[in-house]
Amino acid sequence: MTGQRNLQRKSDPDKELVEAIQSGEHGLFADLVKRYERALYNFGIRMCGNPTDAEDLVQDTFLNVYKYLKSFRRETKFKNWLYRIAATACIKRRRRSKFAPERELSLDQFLPSDEADVELATPRWADAPLEQVLNDELERQIQNGILELPEKYRSVLVLRDVEGFSTEETAQILNLTTSNVKVRLHRARLYLRDHLKHYFKDD
């Protein structure tokens, strides 16, 4: 029985905390906020590109989590559910933001002619050593490239290659098919690879 509880905790480390809050221990909600506020802020920065919008995204997300947590039935991990709410909040926030671009670029030129050519391996920039990724110039170039992506490609790339969700989890969060996620991810990676080619000339 202990082994089963440990397995459940491992599969969803938020399970016990969420259940306690749902059972009426509302003071623990602050622990949930503390656990995810920094990660959600970073997600907001990558998606929106502006600290004000990122802060608003965090606030909107937790307000919605507080409002709907009672109805969360744990059909998926809490983190996946949380990011689904955050992704929705981000889309709404970005459309209202004065910082959003007037027109998004087209990635049609990057669509693979044969879907069999879609590469599923994580790109080299995503696997780069931490000290290299933290290089200010490289980090700025990656962020600029991500922000240039149309929204539907940016969200897939950030969830898969930055936040580390699986293809299936990303599809669930964004309400897409796994094949759509794979194609959008491939196109986004192609664009970002081109954007970063002066850093990784041998890719």
Would you say 200 and 124 are in contact if contact means Cβ atoms under 8 Å apart? yes
Average of pLDDT values for 34-39?
Answer: 96
At 177 the pLDDT is 96
At 103 the pLDDT is 45
Distance CA 182, CA 156 (A): 9
Q: Each residue of 25-35: pLDDT tens digit?
A: 999 999 999 99
Confidence category of residue 48, pLDDT binned at 50, 70, 90: confident
Q: Which one of 3.40.50.720, 1.20.120.80, 1.10.10.10, 1.10.620.20 gives the CATH number of domain 108-195?
A: 1.10.10.10
Confidence category of residue 2, pLDDT binned at 50, 70, 90: very low
User: Which residue did the predictor score with more confidence, 134 or 1?
Assistant: 134
Mean pLDDT across the chain, nearest whole number?
80
Q: Each residue of 116-142: pLDDT tens digit?
A: 454 555 555 555 554 555 567 778 888
Q: Each residue of 147-162: pLDDT tens digit?
A: 989 888 999 999 999 9
At 50 the pLDDT is 87
Locate the domains of the chain by residue range: 2-96, 108-195
Average of pLDDT values for 9-13?
Answer: 72
**Domain at 2-96: CATH code:** 1.10.1740.10
Name 52's Cβ contacts closer than 8 Å, sequence gap at least 6. Answer: 99
